[in-house]
Amino acid sequence: MITPPPTSDPLGFLNSPSGEPPRQTGQTDLIQDLLYEIIRVKDLIKYYEEIPNGAGALGAAILIELVAEAYKSLVDYDTILMKKYYDLLLNCD
């Protein structure tokens, strides 16, 4: 038995021109922004690890822990922690 197509499209899948859902704001943006910050800070960790004589080891260790916790907030889909870690990662230099 063939079912008819749904008459309503609450997620916007059917009416989008490319077949992809429309971009949502809020949580979707936070997830993407947090992922970008995680990637940026992982590059920063490499920089700290390359400082001669282990001078950047403490900084690298702190950033590694911060990235791990930020990633865990994504896996757990904890938006409050995602925002917290986004703000923390954003200020890492």
The C-alpha atoms of residue 93 and residue 77 are separated, in whole angstroms, by: 26
Q: At what angle do helices 57-75 and 79-90 cross, to 10 degrees?
A: 150
pLDDT tops 90 at residue 9: no
The whole-number pLDDT of residue 93 equals 86
Residue 25 vs residue 13, higher pLDDT: 25
Residue 4 vs residue 47, higher pLDDT: 47
Label residue 25 by pLDDT band (50, 70, 90): low
Digit-coded pLDDT (tens) for 32-80: 999 999 999 999 999 999 999 999 999 999 999 999 999 999 999 999 9
The whole-number pLDDT of residue 13 equals 44
pLDDT tops 90 at residue 12: no
Q: Where are the domains of the chain?
A: 27-90
The C-alpha atoms of residue 51 and residue 38 are separated, in whole angstroms, by: 20
